[in-house]
Amino acid sequence: MFEVGAFLFPNAGGIPKDRVIRSAEYRFTVHKEYLIFCLVDEEEKQVNVMAIFHAKKDYMHVMKKYI
């Protein structure tokens, strides 16, 4: 298990630069060599981790398949 500080304040996570991923309302944070993508559910007051990628992986190509 690891702690990701940005998820203590989910709206502090980064907003992806890619417009398709951004339009799906994903946020992300970096933990060591990994990018962690999440969706914030304000109504339920929870953060859902949707994907974790190694920083060297072509994550945009993979993410766009599922959006």
Query: pLDDT value at position 31?
Result: 83
Residue indicated by tokens 């980064």: 14
Residue 48: closest CA among 35, 33, 38: 38
| Local confidence band at 66 (pLDDT 50, 70, 90 cut-offs) | confident
* pLDDT tens-digit series, residues 22-44: 888 888 888 889 988 888 888 88
Give tens-digit pLDDT for 1-14: 344 555 566 666 78
Backbone angles phi, psi at 22, to 5 degrees: -65, -40
